[in-house]
Amino acid sequence: MQPDNVRIHLPGGLNMPPFGIHQYLALIIVGVSLWALGSVWMGLQATGQWVGTWQQQMVLHVYLPQEHKKELQALQQGLQAVDGVAQVESITREDSAQWMRQWLGNSTLDVNTLAERLPETLLVRLLDNESGQFVVDDIRDVAERMHAAMNEDEVQLLGMREVLDKAETLIWFVTVLLALAMALIVSNTLRMILLARADEVHLMRLMGAKEWFVRMPFVLEGLLLGAGAGLLAWLLLWPWVWGSSEWLAGSMVELHVGVLLLPLLFGGALLGCLGALIATARLVSPDSVVES
Amino acid sequence: MRYCFAMSERKTIIDMQQLMLRYPTGKVALSGVNLTILQGQFVYLTGESGAGKSSLLRMFYGGLRPSSGQLQVQKTDMRVAGEAAVRAVRRRTGIVFQDHRLLFSRTVFENVALPLRVQGWSNERLIPRVRKVLEFVRLDDRLWSYPEALSGGEQQRIAIARAMIATPPVVLADEPTGNLDEDTARHVLDLLMGLNELGTTVIMATHDLHLLNSHPGRVVQLHAGALVGDSHAT
């Protein structure tokens, strides 16, 4: 009969080694690293949304002075012919007056007189994913040929998308580097556990244990360690969200932390598994089977 | 006459012809060894330190590969055996070390159960089996103790229990009495003899030649890697 206070814990197979100080330390280090990565990706998500709100309204405006008003149709056709331009609309005088009325807070001023003095305005919509410098240069060339001018502030905003694309590439690079570093941290931790359990591994091999039976506990431990670190990182993201939600709401940004749970959980588990495979790759005992 | 007939009926469990072992350093550990061990024999491997006793034992469980010659262990050619074949030999071989190599962070039960654990036995089946084997070494009351709470002799008896739990046809013992006083050594040898009487082939490397008087067996003598004496040689 097994006494109540005795817990049988046989090594090998699906039985993991007990968690000790090394594992908890690795859990915290990998968890914080994953949290840093999660924070960066969440920041990118927020910036993407912020820029997205511009981009929904984002169009390029081309202005034609009143004295060249007769070239308006030719300018519209010329802009429409530029590769990457989806649509060119002419803003009517009524629309301009309406916009100006709103802008002036529905004041009693005679906005029609003011609107009369505005240049003729064309609204240029670009095709989706078109924000390249070539399209902008082509539009500028056409506009300048017809004595018109572009709104250069809008051109600068268009450039933000390119900056974001570059930032995303950089973040991917950092993610891969940190992932490798985290896999090595897990690998190093498991290596220490393996060294502490070298006698056990040696004995199991002497007794004819299969290699998967000897290595599986360490692979499972790496998997659990990585997944645990991923969960910890995800939980640590919430204070960010709670602390910044009010401020972000003002910029029409709403963070979705839920979508990061699975990537962090499975990414962490994958890293842990990779670390375990690295750690057990050269698991040699004194009496390992020698190749003939 | 009847004894000779019985011997001839026994199966060969280990057979070696012109066995040679050369380490990567170039040192020759064994050279030209011819030896046949039959099922049920109790064999002492004797010789000075460095004579090749431990190397020979290690070759019996695939820890070392012969450099040349032939070595058949339980019908497996150990020179060419793959990992699976070596694993199969190890599962049919019990090993007792001089330093017993018990796991001190694990209970007596967990230590003794290890060979069957690697063969996939469940805890429910293991408990009665381990208890029975511990009864044989008269330590069944220490099932849930930790090895550090046991004396040196008791630890070695646990190691014997571990070696015999899977009922292997062969038990290899490398100086199992080397660290024990004479009385305790005699008790340990009694156990190995008892195991042999149950039909297990026991091959024991030893320096303690005086034990041979009280516990007779076949004596194979090695010197500088060569076989120089065999009490059962024909």
Q: For residue range A35-46, what is the model confidence (pLDDT) as tens digits?
A: 999 999 888 888
Which residues of B fall within a CB distance of 8 Å from A8?
A: 107, 109-110, 123
The CA distance from A48 to A67, in Å, is 41
Q: How far is A188 from chain B (nearest CA, A)?
A: 22
**Residue B124 host element (H or E):** helix B123-136
A4 touches chain B (CB under 8 A): no
The CA distance from A245 to A263, in Å, is 22
The DSSP result for A76-127, as a single string, is HHHHHTSTTEEEEEEEPHHHHHHHHHHHTTS-SS-HHHHHHHSPEEEEEEEP
**Residue B73 host element (H or E):** strand B68-73
The three-class DSSP label of residue B156 is helix
Ranking A3-12, A220-229, B60-69, B161-170 by mean pLDDT, the lowest is A3-12
Q: In terms of pTM, does the model score above 0.80?
A: no
Residue A190 phi, psi (nearest 5)? -65, -30
**B33 class by beta-carbon count within 10 Å (0-12 exposed, 13-18 middle, 19+ buried):** buried
Does the beta-carbon distance from B118 to A8 stay under 8 Å? no
Q: With cut-offs at 50, 70 and 90, classify the pLDDT of residue A288.
A: low
Give mean pLDDT, residues B74-88. 92
Which residues of B fall within a CB distance of 8 Å from A6?
A: 107, 144
- Which tokens sit at A1? 């009969």
Residue B219's CB: how many other CB atoms inside 10 A?
Answer: 17
| Max CA separation in chain B (angstroms) | 52
Q: With cut-offs at 50, 70 and 90, classify the pLDDT of residue A292.
A: very low
The CA distance from B59 to A113, in Å, is 106
Of A69, A178, A86, residue with least CA distance to A121? A69
Instruction: Tell me which DSSP letter residue A288 carries.
Output: P
Would you kindly state where each structural domain of chain A is located, as residue ranges? 21-54+161-281, 66-147
Cβ–Cβ pairs < 8 A, chains A and B: 75
Does the beta-carbon distance from B80 to A199 stay under 8 Å? no
The three-class DSSP label of residue A134 is helix
Q: With cut-offs at 50, 70 and 90, classify the pLDDT of residue A48.
A: confident
Q: For residue range A149-173, what is the model confidence (pLDDT) as tens digits?
A: 988 888 877 777 778 888 889 999 9
Residue B70's CB: how many other CB atoms inside 10 A?
Answer: 14
Q: How many CA atoms lie within 13 A of B4 on its CB side?
A: 3
Alpha helices (H) along chain A: 21-57, 72-80, 93-103, 111-117, 133-145, 152-196, 198-206, 211-250, 258-281
The CA distance from A175 to A37, in Å, is 7
- Which tokens sit at B59? 């070759």
Would you kindly state where each structural domain of chain B is located, as residue ranges? 40-62+90-230
A14 touches chain B (CB under 8 A): no
- Which tokens sit at A200? 């056990």
- Measured CA distances, B21 to B32, B59, B90 (Å): 9, 9, 20
Q: With cut-offs at 50, 70 and 90, classify the pLDDT of residue B137.
A: confident
Paired with A218 in beta bridges are: none
Does the beta-carbon distance from A10 to B114 stay under 8 Å? yes
Does the beta-carbon distance from A207 to B88 stay under 8 Å? no
Tell me the CATH number of domain B40-62+90-230, given options 1.20.1560.10, 3.40.50.720, 3.40.50.300, 3.80.10.10: 3.40.50.300
The CA distance from B228 to B234, in Å, is 14
Complex-level ipTM: 0.87
